[in-house]
Homo-oligomer: A and B are copies of this chain.
Amino acid sequence: MDTREILEQVKKGGISVEKAEKLLRGASVEEMGYAKLDMDRDARTGFPEVIYCQRKTDEFLVSIFRKMLERYGEVFGTRASDHQYQIVREAIPEVVYDPVSHIIKVEKADKERIGRIAVCTAGTADISVAEEAAQTAEFFGSAVERIYDIGVSGIHRLFAHMEEIRSANCVVAVAGMEGALASVLGGLVRNPVIAVPTSVGYGASMNGLSALLTMINSCANGIAVVNIDNGYGAGYLATQINRLAVRGIVAEDDR
């Protein structure tokens, strides 16, 4: 119900003033002690809430996993430690954990994956972040192609995969150190490049700040930058774009 519908209902007595007030104030929030689960997020943004595991206490983590699983029939957590996996598994035996991406999840079996996203990395050390991006996009229903270790110090490796990259609806470029991969890709493709700086590097890389600056200052166009090591954010954004490409404007009607 949008505002107008609520008002119409109030007018004709369909709902009480109290109920209407609550609806207008966002009754879709579920209070969990100190946390306020954003149960309306799915309707509003097209994506369910996801669990950022880092810093969460064991007890709270388990209860939030349960709540989500109950509501959506699946659940997705990022930045989980092995310890957290053990804890959650005791409560929810069907969870699976990937130690590379640090993702812990229960995923519906027969999920359709649409469109195409290319996830690329400069080096092998960037794969951890790239997998967070790839698996996030997959969980949200995108088909993903992984093209790893194609950094600019051996640029022929990149050209050998040019067609796969160019045919994606969206390219995710994951790179640490000087992060030049995003610029090179940006100059070669037609669709958006989501640039993910990583904290891979040492010295003046300043834990990824240098790669972030490289990407923000890219001389190529069509480069969308997210935070350092933010694979999740890249997978989310890539899915938004991929969905638009597949569903197009007609998908608007569903909103």
Query: A residues near B, CB below 8 A?
Result: 3-4, 7-8, 10-11, 13, 17, 20-21, 24-29, 34-36, 38, 40-41, 44-47, 54-56, 60, 115, 122-125, 127, 146, 148-157, 159-160, 162, 166-167, 169, 177-180, 183-184, 186-192, 194, 197, 199-230, 232-233, 236-237, 240-241, 244-249, 252, 255
Contacts and interface: CB of A to CB of B under 8 A. Distances in A.
A243 to B, nearest CB: 9
B153 A220 contact: yes
A190 B148 CA distance: 25
7 smallest beta-carbon distances between A and B, as pairs: A203-B228, A26-B156, A224-B224, A180-B180, A244-B245, A38-B154, A153-B187
Chain A interface helix/strand/loop/mixed: mixed
A216 B223 contact: no
Contacts of A205: 213, 217, 227
Question: How many copies of this chain?
Answer: 8
Contact of A190 (B45, B115, B229, B248): B45
Given A45-B221, A204-B217, A225-B225, 4 more contacts: A45-B187, A197-B203, A209-B213, A218-B227
A29 B245 contact: no
Q: From A60, A157, A201, name the one whose CB has the most chain B CB atoms within 10 angstroms.
A: A157
Contacts of A246: 248-249
7 contacts: A10-B10, A26-B157, A40-B156, A203-B229, A210-B213, A213-B214, A224-B224
A156 B28 contact: yes
A255 B178 contact: no
A88 to B, nearest CB: 17
Contacts of A127: 34
